[in-house]
Amino acid sequence: MGFAPNSIGKYKLGRTIGEGTFAKVKLAIDSNNGQYVAAKIIDKKMVTESDLKCQVQREIRTMTLLHHPNVVRIHEVLGTKTKICIVMEYVPGGQLTDKLSYAKKLEEREARKLFQQLIDAVDYCHDKGVSHRDLKPENLLLDQKGNLKVSDFGLSAMRKPGDILTTACGSPSYVAPELLVNKGYDGAVADIWSCGVILFELLAGRLPFDDSNLINLYKKICRADYTCPQWFTEDQKKLLSRILDPNPKRRITIAEIVEDEWFQKDYVPSCGYECNEKIHLDDVNAAFDSIEETATEANIPKSSSFINAFQLIAMSHDLNLSGLFEEKDENKQVTRLGSKHTIHETMKKIEAAAMDVSLAVERKKNHKIKMHPKQKMTRWSRSSLDISAEVIEVAPTDCVISISKSSGELQVYEEFCKSLSSLLTEKSEISSQIKEPQEVTANSKNIQESGCSEDSNYKDHKKDPRGYSSS
């Protein structure tokens, strides 16, 4: 199927209503019935080169599962060797962000109605095994009657009950605290936190957690450090305190939210439905090899170990959140070192440092190394020395090494760290071949990532007038 300059198949293209790095979203008309639709036209080559193929596939795969009055519906997918076109429901009211920009805070009745519709949509998604993971006003659209519709499932994750996700993603002000610990989390529970942030914003006209410094922002999020405006009612404060609980195990569930007295007022539930409309995946094989079978985060192949922004910030000594979610081991020692070498060179440096202090090494998956005393060293063997190191790639010639000791003599651990630190100062083999090595700065806004994995999903959204993400 070819792409005419002003049409795609049966759809006549109109003005651009959204634009991003890899795609444009155009208003279009179905020539068969005159219905307005939103046509998201994606450049396949740019997406493939940026390793975002899985993200686009996941968005399509997820949207084909969801049929709910408060979720943007996908009508059709068209494709060629160079383009992918996702034909979606057109939502004319724009982003919820646009409404908040001029209305500031909403009246309680309107805020409650939108929050009720958001909870219904999120509950439906969770029932279908979908965690959105990027709920925020930019991804909530309003139709001509002011009803809410959830959009942009590019960061979503398919999950089964009990599945644990590991990738920290989303938008900083709306992210749940458990995502910052670099441990496993429940995507559905994290979505509930984001819903609470949105409810606060609807009622207050501002975010509960806001700071230009990301470290300070995440500290506030982890402590649930927010102040309610004086016009908040006790019922509103009570519900928000149960949603914005930094401990995910104590956080209120959607079922409990629905039973809340404030939530129940004027509540008209909206339910999902079976859709007879068949989703045509015409020519997608020509553009992307295939729309793959539903995959979970665990079985998506990872072609890179690049660290993402959330992981890097979570490593900060000023932002140790683990105490909120796990018991501390007073005997455990942790040291972090920077390496200006490739990940493979860094692994060799670790092994060399281990040999310097007579430790045997055992390589594990995901660039992890276990170190233990050689059999002949009976004195250290009795002390059950346990040292491990993990190497995380920040850039091709920049790594972070996390070294931990959970038991054994501190002296051996310190000698190993000292030896490794000395070895890391040696010039990199790759660096020495480059006349003017380019400096790579790793910060929260400039983190190089790659691979067809969930970890490539930390994205910096460009605003568009209708909320149709074009990542």
CA distances from 300 to 6, 75, 296, 325, 375 (A): 37, 26, 7, 26, 39
Decide if 176 contacts 85 (C-beta within 8 A).
Answer: no
DSSP string, 6-20: TEETTEEEEEEEEE-
The residue written with tokens 């942030």 in the block is 197
* Residue tagged active-site, from 98, 120, 123, 134: 134
Amino acid identity at 171: S
Decide if 165 contacts 225 (C-beta within 8 A).
Answer: no
Decide if 268 contacts 133 (C-beta within 8 A).
Answer: no
The residue written with tokens 């429940």 in the block is 186
Q: How many CA atoms lie within 13 A of 291 on its CB side?
A: 20
Residues in the chain: 471
- The DSSP bridge pattern shows strands 11-19 and 23-30 to be antiparallel
Decide if 399 contacts 341 (C-beta within 8 A).
Answer: yes
- DSSP one-letter code for 2: -
First to last CA, the chain: 23
Decide if 198 contacts 191 (C-beta within 8 A).
Answer: no
Please tell me whether residue 391 adopts helix, strand or coil conformation. strand
> Could you give the CA distance from residue 465 to residue 95 in angstroms, rounded to a whole number?
7
Task: For the beta carbon of residue 412, count every other beta carbon within 10 angstroms.
Answer: 20
- Catalytic, 235? Answer no
CA distances from 48 to 2, 43, 294, 298, 452 (A): 20, 9, 20, 21, 9
Supply the residues annotated as catalytic: 134
